[in-house]
Structure formats: C-alpha cells, structure tokens
C-alpha cells in the first residue's frame, strides 16, 4: 500500500500558545513514529497567527532531536525567502546532526503577503530565480568541484534529498527536468493535481538522486471513532478555509455544531474547492474513501494534514489512519 507521511504546521489553537503548539508538534511526531509514518514534515508560513513553524529549520531540529527513526523535513522551505547558501548551511547542519533522516522540500511561492516579504528583505521578483536557486542549492549540498570558492560547511557532501513542492504545472515541469521527487499541495490547492502529476511523469529525467518519478500527494484526512465525530472535527478546517477566503486568518478554531450558519453559500463553494482533496471517516471507512485518490494519481506516498483543534483528537486521528491503511 502507499506510504503514509504527516504534514504538521504546528497549529496554534484558539486558547493556546506557540509553546503549546511546538510541544504538541514533538508529541505528534513521536506518536507518528510509533505508528509507522514515513516522514514528518513542517512548513514555513511567516506572519501567521495560527502557525508556529515559521522558523522551520529550528522546528525540524526540535522534532528530530526528540525522535529516533522517522524522517523529518521541510514541506516546505519557501526558497525565494532565503539565499541558497543559508538553506544549505541550515539543512547541512541538520543532516550532520541527524544523518539519513532529513528531507528538504522547496516551494516557489513566498508563503506570505507583500508586506511580510518586505519585512524579510525580499522582493516578489525573487521567485523568478527559483529554478537557478534550486540548482545552486543542490550543488552546495553535493560534492565540491575543483577550485570551488563558496562552500556550505556543514552542507557539502551531505546530499540532503531535495523535493519540489507545487500546486501548479510549473513545479511539475521543474521537478521532472531536475529529476527530483514531486509533492503536490492538493491539501489546499487541488485543482491541477492530475494534470501536474501526468506532466511530471511524462517529462521526468533521471538524476543522481532519483531513477524514476516519485509522487507525493497532499490531502486532509480526519479519522474519529464515529462518522459524526469526524464530521464535527472537520468543521475546524472548514472554518479555516472560509477565513482564508475572507482574508481573516487567525488561530485554529475549535469545531462547531452548525457549519452552515458560519459560511455563506459563496463562501461554502470557495472553501469546499480549497478542501476538495479532504476525507473524513472512521477506521472502518477511511481506507475506501482514500483508494480512488491513490488510484487516480498513482501516488507513491500520501502527505496527510489534519487541522484538528484538540491535540489528543489529532493524535488519535493519525493513529486510526495508520491502522486503517496498514
């Protein structure tokens, strides 16, 4: 069966603090490791009140230091926000501390707004150099060439596995051209999923890192002891998606009893489009709900997100999913 991995944004729930979120991230990773998940990835989203993983490399160190076997990585680093040299040094250090366990997923979008980009001392034009920056980063993490002047220390010769993340056809084409694994962000932007995966596979060129195409598909999955509870827990990501539509993001909200009273018909349509690659159910039903996604995309791996407000319910959801898919 398909590999299972976990995407964590270190959500800060309403009524909680960043310290709670980071402690929960480590606890979730430890439980994911025990349940047999392949990877635990964290994402860079600066200037968001509900996400505590903006300093992604620091968060990865926190999680990797508290686990033993599970791969830990970025899903992803928004490379236009950084210089390739800095990321090479950061992830080279992580790979030196935790050999064979670090992944580096790279995104082209800034993951934030224009004012935050200014605060990061970056410009929107930085994204135009994404392909060149990926190539430069890969070189810095590989074997140094003769007469090379710039070295990432630690970094060179670590060959940290790179991934291209995307929600459009651009990332699929770049991943194929560079021979890198491809992760599609269908957990929040599923519209181009099938076309992107098809283009990636058709145009893939083998590389030193990867002989054959490898596809990871993002999805939202919530599993509970009953269908009613799973539907209720799912009102949290529904509220979150609606707030994205409204431009009023905040901390992660608790579930509510009547989602229909929360959104307008137009908001419902827009939020439902964002969440089109989402599934909820019980241990007995969730597998059959996921099978069509796996078969339609030929996914090698699922990267599962679950915006659940209650931490123990979130841990339980991932445990039930692992059992259902095992």
Q: What is the pTM of this model?
A: 0.95
Q: How far apart are CA 225 and CA 285, in angstroms?
A: 11
Q: How far apart are CA 193 and CA 65, in angstroms?
A: 34
Of the candidate ranges 100-109, 123-132, 194-203, 251-260, the one whose mean pLDDT is the lowest = 123-132
For the residues 248-271, what does the mean pLDDT come to?
A: 97
Question: E strands along the chain, which residues?
Answer: 3-8, 39-42, 71-78, 102-107, 162-166, 182-184, 215-223, 278-281, 301-305
Q: Check whether 122 has a pLDDT greater than 90.
A: no
* CATH at 63: 3.20.20.30
Domain that holds residue 49: 3-325
Give residue-wise pLDDT tens across range 54-68.
999 999 999 999 999
Give the number of domains in the chain. 1
For the residues 105-111, what does the mean pLDDT come to?
A: 82
- Residue 45's pLDDT is 86
Give the model's confidence band at 278: pLDDT under 50 very low, under 70 low, under 90 confident, else very high.
very high
* Rama region for 197: left / alpha / beta (φ>0; ψ in -120 to 50; rest): alpha
- Residue 113's pLDDT is 67
């Amino acid at each position: 069966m398909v590999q299972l991995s976990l995407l964590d944004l270190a959500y800060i729930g309403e009524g909680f603090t960043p310290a709670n979120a980071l402690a929960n991230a480590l606890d979730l990773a430890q439980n994911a490791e025990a349940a047999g998940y392949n990877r635990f990835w964290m994402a860079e989203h600066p200037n968001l009140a509900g996400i505590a993983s903006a300093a992604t490399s620091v968060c990865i160190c926190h999680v990797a230091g508290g686990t033993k076997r599970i791969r830990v990585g970025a899903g992803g680093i928004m490379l236009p926000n950084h210089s390739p040299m800095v990321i090479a040094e950061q992830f080279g250090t992580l790979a030196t501390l935790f050999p064979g366990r670090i992944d580096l997923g790279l995104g082209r979008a800034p993951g934030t707004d224009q004012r935050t980009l200014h605060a990061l001392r970056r410009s929107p034009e930085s994204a135009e150099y994404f392909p060149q920056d990926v190539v430069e980063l890969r070189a810095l993490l590989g074997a140094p060439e003769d007469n090379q002047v710039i070295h990432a220390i630690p970094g060179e010769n670590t060959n940290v596995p790179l991934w291209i993340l995307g929600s459009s056809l651009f990332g699929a084409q770049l991943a194929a051209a560079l021979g890198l694994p491809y992760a599609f962000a269908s957990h929040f932007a599923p519209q181009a999923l099938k076309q992107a995966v098809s283009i990636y596979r058709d145009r893939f060129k083998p590389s030193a890192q990867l002989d054959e195409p490898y596809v990871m598909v993002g999805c939202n999955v919530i599993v509970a002891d009953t269908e009613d509870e799973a539907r209720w827990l799912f009102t949290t990501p529904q509220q979150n998606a609606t707030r994205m539509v409204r431009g009023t993001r905040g901390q992660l909200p608790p579930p509510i009893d009547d989602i229909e009273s929360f959104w307008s018909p137009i908001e419902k349509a827009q939020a439902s489009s964002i969440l089109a690659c989402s599934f909820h159910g019980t241990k007995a039903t969730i597998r059959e709900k996921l099978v069509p996604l796996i078969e339609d995309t030929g996914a090698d791996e699922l990267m599962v997100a679950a915006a659940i407000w209650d931490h123990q319910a979130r841990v339980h959801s991932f445990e039930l999913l692992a059992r259902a898919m095992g």
